[in-house]
Structure 1
Amino acid sequence: MDTRQDELRRDLDATLQARKELGKEYEEELVDSFMKRLDARLDARVERSVASRLDDYEPDHRDRHRSHRPWAPGRAGNRLAVISLALGIPLTAIAGSPESGGLTGLLACWAGIVGVNLAAALGNRRDRDERRPRGGWD
């Protein structure tokens, strides 16, 4: 048998022996004490198991993709750019029609699209700079 099982068996035997000596009036306290020790051992075993499984994974897996691929497909800046271009097609047709202002409407429409994307890009850059750890020389 495993040494941990031997320890558990000794603890159980000691608890049963103490129950025989102390009587039934202390049975609840003895069982609670044994269960607390058993819970602590189970918790430690689960923590060791989880820690060993986490060691199998690459620790910086998620952070590596964020830092090396700033224009990854799932980023909010890319989504805004794609949505802006998709909405830009019908807006170009609407704003470029003679009833909506022609060239002036077209320029206003695309200036708005560029402005929104530029503001989002600058906001993302500022957020990224704020999260960057600073050294002692900054």
Structure 2
Amino acid sequence: MDARDPELKKELNATLQARHELGAEYEPALVESFLEKVEQRLDGVVDRRVRRELAERQMAAARDARTPSPVEGFGERFGFGVVSLILAIPLSAIAVVNADFKGLVVCWLGIFGVNAVHASRGRFWTPGKRRRSSDWED
């Protein structure tokens, strides 16, 4: 609500005009009526602000719920690491047989890369979440 709200200014002018026409005996009723209108307007503004704040908190809670905590993702990361090490044994053997030491290095760089990307997935990148440049974007 702006301090220079044109609707409230019109209401105040109408109230003052009615007081001038009706006399001082109606002044308490006129003031009471004007204050009720101001109160209704303030209630509307406060309601909108509370709804906006609640929506922002719900959005923040939803964003926080999408990113797993380090404790929650431990089992998945541990299982992925174990599986990749188990698969590394036959892959290493195939790499050594076909390309000697260079093949082994390439194989282990690939294993390391896959594990690094998987481990950093929750920290740096979350599927379906894009970074916004401002809060005004949809």
Task: Give the TM-score, by structure 2 length.
Answer: 0.41
State the structure with bigger RCO (CA 8 A, min sep 6), 1 or 2.
2
